[in-house]
Every structure is written in structure tokens, then in C-alpha cells.
Amino acid sequence: MAKSEAIQEKSDLKEKNSKKFGERKKGLVISTFSVISFLLIWEIASYNEWVNPLFISSPIEIGQASIGMIQDPTFWGNMSVSGYQFGVGFLLAMAVGIPMGILSGWNSTVNSLVIPFISALYVTPKVALLPVIIIAFGIGPASKIVIVFLMAFFPIVMSAQKAMNTLDQDLIKAARSFTANDIQIFKTIALPSTVPFLLNGIRLGIGQGLIAVVVGEMFASTAGIGYQLTSDGQNLQTDQMFVGVLVITLTGVTLTALLGLIERRFSRWKP
């Protein structure tokens, strides 16, 4: 009897996995068809000049421009500048935001100290602070690193706070019944529970950080993808401008997809 139940359970699991694979395959086909249809309509509209070519290029012209730009060392120089500014600012946001969020969510005294500043700065438009940041740090990498830090910091710190506020109280009561102290509970229950929320906050922070580095470079910079976008737009080189937009988009999609995979891996740790 037990053997037949095990066989049935294995069969049901196999059928469930097969159904999931079929749904993913169907979704991939639909998404591919959607993208191809969009590009085709875009190319037709550009070819027939339904939209002024000065304002928008065509997918074929963008592809040709991307080949030329990839062979240009200036493009890779701008990429490295933007990558450095984004990477340093984002790492700083994680280095400060994760501990602050965990501590403020765990300790009410720390939360009372930092929550007024976090709440005030969260609702403040960070772009509005850009002129002040540039005056203070100049037009070099430092100003862009600061704005990336500010934009990425808040999704991370608030996700960490949320994680600590949604701890499973039954687990904490069970741990205390076995005479576990606060440090043991913090290390074995609280910290693991924050991982899924932190990954979600980091994923949101990636998008905010990319926006910040591009806006900062467009506002005041002498290098970077944002600077290149501004230069191409001023020279009406819309095909090259769209290449820059495509690079930023692909970077964001790739990073968020990787974080999404890691997040699904730890989703069962959610309380």
C-alpha cells in the first residue's frame, strides 16, 4: 500500500513538473512572438516614415550603429566609467543599508533614532538633491557614486526592516522555550529570515541605481553612458542614442534576472 502511494506521489510530481515546463515553454513562445512583432512594427513605421526619423531610429539602424560603437574604444571607456560609479555606489548602499535595516528592525531604540531621517529622505526626490551633490562633490565620479548610493539605499534598508518586522513569532517563542538568548535567536532565526526580503530590496535597488548613474551623468559629467546619451541626443544621432538606452536596459534586465533566480532559491526561507 505504501509502495503504491509512493509511486502515485512520484507520478503526480512528474506530471506537475511537466505541466510547469509546458507553461514556461508557452510563455517563452508568446514573449518571443511579442518582441518580434513589436520590432517588426517599429521597423515598418520607421521605413514608411510614419514617425520623423530625427526623433526615432529603426531597429536595423540601431543594430548597425551598435556594431560600430562596439568597435569604438570610447564606448567601452564610457561603459567602464558608468560601471565603476554604479558598482561603488551600490556596494556602499548595501554595506550601509543592510546592517542599518537589520539593526533598526531588531532594536526599537535604534529604530527610533534612524526612522525620522529614513522617512524624510525616502520621500525626498533624490534628483532634486543632485545640484547640491555636484556642488559638494564636483562633476567627477564622486557625485555619481553619492546619488547612486542615495537611490539604492532606501529599497535595501526598508526591505531589511520589513524582514525583521515579519519574523515568525512562533519560532522565537519555541527558541526561547529552549532557553535561547537574544544573540542565538538573532543568528539562527532573524538573519536567515531576512535573506529573501534583502534580495528583493537589492533587486529593486539595482533599478534605482541604474537610473541614478544615468541621470547623474546626463546632468554633469564628462564621461559615461549618460554623458554619451546626452551627446548623441544633441547631435541628433538617435541610432547611437538608442544603443546606449539598450545597453542600460540589458544591464538592468540581466542583473534583476540573476537576483530573481537567487531570490527564488531562498524564497522558502520567508517566515
204-220 per-position pLDDT tens digit: 888 888 888 888 888 87
pLDDT at residue 76, rounded to an integer: 86
Place of cell 526561547: 176
Region 87-116 average pLDDT: 84
C-alpha span between 269 and 262 (Å, rounded): 12
pLDDT band at 103 (very low <50, low <70, confident <90, very high): confident
| C-alpha torsion sign, points 175, 178, 179, 180 | negative
- Please enumerate in sequence order all residues whose Cβ is within 8 A of that of 241, keeping only pairs 6 or more positions apart, or say none: 57, 229, 232, 233
pLDDT band at 91 (very low <50, low <70, confident <90, very high): very high
Region 225-240 average pLDDT: 80
C-alpha span between 25 and 163 (Å, rounded): 34
What mean pLDDT value characterizes the chain? 79
Region 67-81 average pLDDT: 84
Region 127-148 average pLDDT: 84
Domain spans of the chain, in order of start: 1-51, 61-269
The answer on pLDDT for 166 being more than 80 is no
Superfamily of domain 61-269 in CATH is MetI-like (1.10.3720.10)
pLDDT at residue 182, rounded to an integer: 67
Question: The whole model's pTM is what?
Answer: 0.76
The answer on pLDDT for 159 being more than 70 is yes
